Amino acid sequence: MDFEFTSEDEAFRTEARGWLAAHADSAQDRRTWERTLGKAGWIGIGWPEDGYGNRTATLTQQVAWAEEYARSGAPPRSGHIGENLLAPTLIIHGSEEQKSRFLPPVAAGEELWCQGYSEPGAGSDLAGVRTSAVRDGASYRITGQKIWTSLAHEADWCFVLARTDAGSRRHQGLSFLLVPMDQPGRVEVRPIRQMTGTSEFNEVFFDGAHARAEHVVGGEGQGWRVAMSLLGFERGVSTLAQQIGFAEELGRVVRAAVRTGAVDDPVVRARLVRQWAELRAMRWNALRTLGGSGDAGAPSVAKLLWANWHQRLGELAMQVRGAEASAGPRDWAPAAPYELDPDQHLFLFSRADTIYGGSDQVQRTIIAERVLGLPREPKGVV
């Protein structure tokens, strides 16, 4: 599919603007939006292959699309896990049958995915997963628990890292399985209520859930290799789009500082300038490393930079507003869920930034071991 803009793309813009004006940000609306994007071929433009209903784009074109999408105020994506994590992994490690089965529905926005990695006893230490998958004829029976599973309550499928060799330890004996979520009594999703009052994360319980044998990616026992390959796709073009959102949040904080008079405080002024300068530095660093390979520490450095920057921005948002920051946008009622304004949500949600997606401690360990060549941290034996 050609990347050049056409009259159909202009029609898509008109449709998108109308959709955004008419719909709220509900799960069903987000799914409808994914299908709208897929119909226009805007899902999967970063894939190295076309032919799945997607168009392909150069790296520069991908950056332009991601940044303009963020600037437009378009809804958060529900399909990014399938598009940006699973699909590139299947293109590298999947069979032709797996690619033919799963990539077209992702490109069409028809099937949404979640990531079954972290467990209560194996969050930062992914090699310690205990979820088991036992071969049962033409399928596997999966038993175990995953946690902090983003968007599991909306997902149709989950890619699950599970132990297929019961006697194995650590990185050995793991497999990467594609598991349908619609298995009543065998797959249970329990939302985790956060201090923001929302529930983007979930616990997922597998009680004999089935995954077909042909839906093991990379072969049985090759799960660690596939899983690590997937993690390499977590940073990239999306980082630049994320920074567009950060710039909008920073602008809101600056306007609040002017309104409240907090900008007259030289300490606050210095913090605002520092946030602006660091955001610019993050952008240039992202551009410098974009499309590169072989720099094992680049994704970890990027995560450390933006997570801590974002937390400091949330703290600054509360500081510049003073006492009013403690009052919500609506009168509080015991029987109703509390509401937060955007700055309050920023402050509370950003507390998790240094934890999810690999905690600060994990990122520093990666840099120490893989970049600086320091002795490896001892790990416990499962």
Tokens of 108: 């069409």
Q: What are phi and psi of 62, to 5 degrees?
A: -60, -40
Q: b/e per residue, 50-61, with b = 16+ CB within 10 A?
A: bebbbbbbeeeb
Catalytic residue among 67, 110, 234, 369, which? 234
Phi, psi of 81 (to 5 degrees): -65, -45
51: left (phi over 0), alpha (psi -120 to 50) or beta: left
At 100, list the tokens: 């033919």
Amino acid, res. 138? A
Phi, psi of 187, deg, nearest 5: -130, 120
Interatomic CA distance for residues 194 and 148, integer angstroms: 11
Would residue 234 show up in a list of annotated catalytic residues for this protein?
yes
Percentage helix, strand, coil, to 5, in the chain? 50, 15, 40
Judge residue 26's burial from the number of C-beta atoms within 10 Å of its C-beta, 0-12 exposed, 13-18 middle, 19 or more buried: exposed
How far apart CA 227 and CA 54 sit, in angstroms, is: 24
Residues with Cβ within 8 Å of residue 218, at least 6 apart in sequence: 93, 94, 176, 225, 226
Give phi and psi for 343, each to the nearest 5: -70, -40
What HEC string does 69-109 produce? HHHCCCCCCCCHHHHHHHHHHHHHHCCHHHHHHHHHHHHCC
Q: Which positions are catalytic?
A: 234
